[in-house]
Amino acid sequence: MESEEFLLVRDLLRSFATRYRMDSADEVKPAARTAAQQALDELGLAELRATALPVATVQECALLAEEHGRQPLTTSLLGTVLLAPEVTRLLGDGSAATGAVPTVALAPDLRFPGPTPSRLVAWDCEGADGALCVDAEGTVSQAELGPPAPTADLLRSVRTAYPGPVVGRLNPQAHQQWQAYALVIVASELVGAAGAFVELSVDYARERRQYGRPIGSFQAVQHLLADATTLVEAAASATRYAAWCLDHEPPGRALTAARVAKAEVDVSAVEAVYAGMQVFGGIAQTWEHVAHLYLRKVLLGATVLATTSDLLPVLAEPEAALADPKAALVEPKPALVEPKATLVEPEAAR
C-alpha cells in the first residue's frame, strides 16, 4: 500500500489498541475479549494479505504486529488476522477458504508442527472458528477447536485442536516463505512488547524517588535501562531486516534471516523485560500491576515456533542446508524458557 495509506492503517490500530488495552489482569474477562475482537475484526485488517497480490508488504504487517505487541491486548491479530490468511494465500487455490475464521495450529509445545501431527493447539485463537496446520512436509490440514488449553499468557487465547482433513500442500518455496513469515510476525510482536515495557520502565524511573532523588538519576539504573534499550534496538533491526528480505529476497535467504531474527529476539526481548522488572522493583510483582502481563507475553512468545536453542544449531549448518524448512524442526535442545514451566494454569501462576 502507499506509505500514506499505511500510516493511516497504523494510526487506526494505535487508536484501537489504546482503547482496548488491559491495564490489569482483573480486566481480562470473556466479555472484554469478545468486544475487543469484534472491534478488531471490523477494521478489516485480515484482507491485508488475503489476496494473491497482497495489499500490504511483509514489512508493513510486521510493523502492525509490533504495534499490537506494544499494548496488553487480548485480540488475535497474529493468529486470525495475519498468519492464517497467509496460509490460505500461499495455497493459492482457495482450498482452505471455508467461510470460517481460522487461526493457526501448532504443536503442543507451541513449536512448528512435525510431520503428520497427532496433537495440536490452536494458538492466538480469539474469535476463531477453526485452525489451519502446516506440518513439516508443507501439508496443510484443517483442525477443529477443542476446549481451552492452559497457558501462562493471560492475554492470549489458546485451545486444544484436533487434526482434520488435508486441504492442500505448500510447495517447497511457499513452505519456506510461510515459516519465514510466521517467524517474523511473532518476533515483531515480541519486539513491540519488550520495547513498550522498557519505555514504561524509563517513565517509572523518572517518577519514582528514593533518597530524595528520582531513581533514574542513579547510574546503576541508567546502565540497566541503557542496556535494555540496546537489546530492543538490536532485536528490532534484525526483525525488520528479515521482513525486508521476505519482500525482496528469495524464500531460502528470507528464511535464514527470519531464523536469525527469532533467535536474537527470543534472548533480547526476555533480557530487556527482566531489566524493566528490576527497575519497577516490588510493585511489578503484584497481580494488579501491568508488568506481569508483558512478562508472561514475552516469556511464552520466546518459545513460540522455535526457540534460540532450536535455531542456533540450524544456523550453524552450511548455507545450502539453511534453505530447508525442515531444518527448524531439529530435535529441541533445552529451551531458554522451559515450555512445561510456562504452560501452567493461570490460577496456579497467580
Q: Which among 336, 159, 179 has a CA at the least distance from the CA of 245?
A: 179
pLDDT tens digits along 165-205:
999 999 999 999 999 999 999 999 999 999 999 999 999 99
Q: Which long-range contacts (CB under 8 A, 24 or more apart) does 39-47 make?
A: 40/16, 40/75, 40/76, 40/77, 40/81, 40/127, 41/101, 41/127, 43/12, 43/13, 43/16, 45/9, 45/13, 45/77, 45/81, 45/82, 46/80, 46/81, 46/85, 46/101, 47/85
Q: The whole model's pTM is what?
A: 0.89
CA distance 134 to 169: 8
DSSP 3-state of 202: helix
pLDDT tens digits along 221-237:
999 999 999 999 999 99
Could you tell me the three cell numbers for 152?
Answer: 501462562
Q: Which residues pair with 144 in a beta bridge?
A: 162
List CB contacts of 344: < 8 A, sequence separation 6 or more. 150, 152
pLDDT tens digits along 252-308:
999 999 999 999 999 999 999 999 999 999 899 899 999 999 999 999 999 999 999
CA distance 265 to 59: 17
First to last CA, the chain: 43
Residue 94 pLDDT > 80: no
Could you tell me the three cell numbers for 138?
Answer: 508443507
Q: Which pLDDT band, with edges at 50, 70 and 90, does 332 fall under?
A: very low
What pLDDT does 333 receive? 41
- Region 68-91: mean pLDDT is 96
Beta-strand pair 139-148/213-214: unpaired
What pLDDT does 337 receive? 36
Structural domains of the chain, ranges and CATH numbers in brackets: 174-349 (1.20.140.10)
